Amino acid sequence: MNKPLLSVVITVYNEEDNIQPLLKATYAALVGMDYEVILVEDGSTDRTVAEIKKYANTRTKLVVFNRNYGQTTALAAGIDQATGEYIATMDGDLQNDPTDLPGMLQKAIDEEWDVVAGRRANRKDGFVLRKIPSKIANWIIRNSTNVHLKDYGCTLRVYKAEIAQNMGLYGELHRFIPVLAKQEGAKMTEVDVKHHPRIHGTSKYGLSRTFKVIADLILMLFFQKYFQRPIHLFGGLGLLAFLLGAFINVYLLVLKILGEDIWGRPILILGFMLILGGIQLITTGIIAEIIVRTYFESQEKKTYRVKALYTGEQVVQTSN
């Protein structure tokens, strides 16, 4: 069987009223295109599955989870099932518009982008509870990761399949997909897309996600800078703490020799804590290095990706 040009991955959770208009709009937007639609049902408690079976066409795959795992896991499952040369992702709440997909796909093909990300130019969400937290989160992520997109929260994106299938989606990292794609060496751009107000159902997000986003950001920064060399982070901090603790203790030892009473001083406890903490951090770094090597070597993974390989006459031809 030939690969379809585009696989559209849509995650849905308790969206029974949205399924019929969602599928109708998606199929209409993809008329004339070689495509497949992959719906990932994330443990809904309503009639979402029944509605999908009722309105799906023959180009549709349905992945049904036994419970709710979250959007990141649902996206990962859909991407695993995708067979297209390009993979698009979008939400199933009708706020993303599938009519944007053909233009985004064409831009990816014509201009050879690895990722074309959607940017909600006229976002139809609440200002205080959704827009302001999103703008703050986008600013923090953009400036801390050096991945310069304006809208990290828009799920509507088109990827080359090899990029999407190698990102490694775990936990709740869907907001950081552009960062993960960048780590794979993806060349990406951002385009304005349409955004609609939610008509049916309720939003699954709110201010409660703020702390999770911050925690995930710390993880992303670690992945970006220290994933292949954790000893440089833990070892550096550990060595700094150890030396500072040693300096404090040497200083106190000199005072003791000079006849001063150092017992009970808080700085004495601080010195011992810094030494012990430094040893622990260095040990953690060594253990992390061993884990990283196990991660790559046990799965025969490489610490690099080759974009192209030229041999023989190809080398001569491409150099001209």
The amino acid that residue 73 corresponds to is T
Which residue reads 């107000």 in tokens? 197
Report how far residue 217's alpha carbon sits from residue 141's, in angstroms, rounded to the nearest whole number: 7
Domain for residue 307, yes or no? no
- Are the C-beta atoms of residues 24 and 56 closer than 8 Å to each other? no
Q: What is the mean pLDDT of residues 46-56?
A: 92
Domain for residue 276, yes or no? yes
Domain for residue 312, yes or no? no
- Give me the pLDDT at residue 319, please: 46
* Residues 6+ away with beta carbon under 8 Å from 64: 41, 49
Number of C-beta neighbours around residue 122 at 10 A = 9
Burial class (CB in 10 A: 0-12, 13-18, 19+), 64: middle
Q: What is the mean pLDDT of residues 70-87?
A: 91
Domain for residue 173, yes or no? yes
Domain for residue 271, yes or no? yes
Burial class (CB in 10 A: 0-12, 13-18, 19+), 163: buried
- Give me the pLDDT at residue 185, please: 85
Find which of 46-60, 252-266, 286-300 is predicted with most confidence, using mean pLDDT: 46-60
**Residue at which a domain ends, from 202, 225, 248:** 225
- Give me the pLDDT at residue 135, please: 73
- Give me the pLDDT at residue 170, please: 75
CATH number of the structural domain spanning residue 181? 3.90.550.10
pLDDT higher than threshold 90 for residue 196: no
Pick the more confident residue, 29 or 202: 29
**Residue at which a domain ends, from 225, 252, 287:** 225
- Give me the pLDDT at residue 230, please: 87
Domain for residue 208, yes or no? yes
